[in-house]
Amino acid sequence: MNFFISDALAAAPEAQADPLTSLLPLVFIFVVFYFLLIRPQSKRAKEHKQMVEALAKGDEVVTNGGLLGKLTKIGDNFVELELAEGITVKLQRNAIANVMPKGTIKGL
């Protein structure tokens, strides 16, 4: 039984990998996620917040649900959107997806 121990001692020890080198792929993956996912999403959220804060009466907008209309009243949290003559709906400000160019809606 003594010969097993001597064989184990005779084997050369494996070289240990540097801990920094083994952490490098994880750091690389985080950097890629940051630039491809996190940064663009936060940039889009910031642009949407600025757009919602800049809403003004008379702006023609599209909602998240796809409704196209003209803003008639603007409050702190809610806006009134005129879809057609005499038809208005009340929405949260954050439900506005886009501000359209003036003249997009004809006949409102």
Dist. CA 49–CA 39, nearest whole Å: 15
Whether residue 82 sits in one domain with residue 66: yes
Whether residue 89 sits in one domain with residue 62: yes
- Residue numbers of the domain that contains 37: 18-54
Dihedral angle, C-alpha 83, 87, 92, 95, nearest 10 °:
-20
pTM, two decimal places: 0.71
> DSSP states of 19-50 as a string?
HHHHHHHHHHHHHHHIIIIIHHHHHHHHHHHH
Within-domain flag for 3? no
Whether residue 63 sits in one domain with residue 41: no
Domains in the chain, number: 2
Structure confidence by residue, pLDDT tens digits, 12-64: 566 666 778 888 999 999 999 999 999 999 999 999 999 999 999 999 999 99
The enclosing domain of 98 has a CATH number of 2.30.30.60
